[in-house]
Amino acid sequence: MKRAALYSRSRGAREAAPPADAAPAQPAAPARPSLLRRLATRRNLLLPLAIGGLIVALVFTATSSFKPAPRQITQRDIDRAVLHTLNTKPLPSAAAKAYEAVRRSVVLVRGITPGENGEEDSDDAVGTGVVIVESGIILTNLHVVLQAKELRVVFADGSESEATVAGLRPEHDLAVLRAKAVPDDLQPATLGSTQGLAPGDQVIAVGFPFGIGPSVSAGVISGLKREFRSPQGKRVLTNLIQFDAAANPGNSGGPLVTMSGEVVGIVTAILNPSESRTFIGIGFAVPIENAAAGVGLHPF
CATH number of domain containing 223:
2.40.10.120
Q: Does residue 131 form part of some domain?
A: yes
What pLDDT band is residue 285 in, cutting at 50, 70 and 90?
very high
- Which is more confidently placed, 78 or 114? 78
Question: Which has the higher per-residue pLDDT, 274 or 295?
Answer: 274
Structural domain includes residue 43: no
Interatomic CA distance for residues 44 and 13, integer angstroms:
52
Q: Are 102 and 261 in contact (CB under 8 A)?
A: yes
Residue 178: inside a domain: yes
Q: Is residue 111 part of a domain?
A: yes
Provide, rounded to the nearest whole percent, the portion of the chain with pLDDT above 70.
73
DSSP for 171-230 reads: GGTEEEEEESS--TT--PPPB--STT--TT-EEEEEE-GGG--SEEEEEEEEEEEEEEE-
pTM (2 d.p.)? 0.70
Q: Give me the half-sphere count of Cα atoms (radius 13 Å) on the Cβ side of residue 16.
A: 3
Q: How far is it, in rounded angstroms, from Cα 251 to Cα 269?
A: 9
| DSSP assignment of 130-185 | EEEETTTEEEEEHHHHTT-SEEEEE-TTS-EEEEEEEEEEGGGTEEEEEESS--TT
**pLDDT > 80? residue 300:** no
DSSP per residue over 102-116, as a string? Answer: HGGGEEEEEEEE--S
pLDDT for position 84: 80
The count of structural domains within the chain is 1
From the list 255, 281, 283, the residue with the least C-alpha distance to 270 is 283
Q: What is the pLDDT of residues 22-79, one digit of tens each?
A: 555 555 555 555 555 655 565 565 666 667 677 777 766 766 665 566 778 888 888 8
User: Does residue 223 fall inside a structural domain?
Assistant: yes
Overall residue count recorded for the chain in this entry: 300
Other CB atoms within 10 Å distance of the CB of residue 254: 35
Question: Would you say residue 14 lies in a domain?
Answer: no
Residue 119 in domain:
yes
pLDDT in tens, 129-188: 999 999 999 999 999 998 888 999 999 999 999 999 998 888 889 999 999 999 999 999
Q: Which domain holds residue 199?
A: 100-293
Q: What is the dihedral of CA 104, 105, 111, 115, to 10 degrees?
A: 30
User: Peptide bond preceding 24: is omega within 30 degrees of 0, i.e. cis?
Assistant: no
Spatial contact of 169 and 181, defined as CB atoms under 8 Å apart: no
Q: How far is Cα 36 from Cα 43, in angstroms, rounded to an integer? A: 10
Residues designated as active site: 143, 173, 252
Output the DSSP codes for 266-295.
EEEEE--SSSS---SS-EEEEEHHHHHHTT
In a domain, 23, yes or no: no
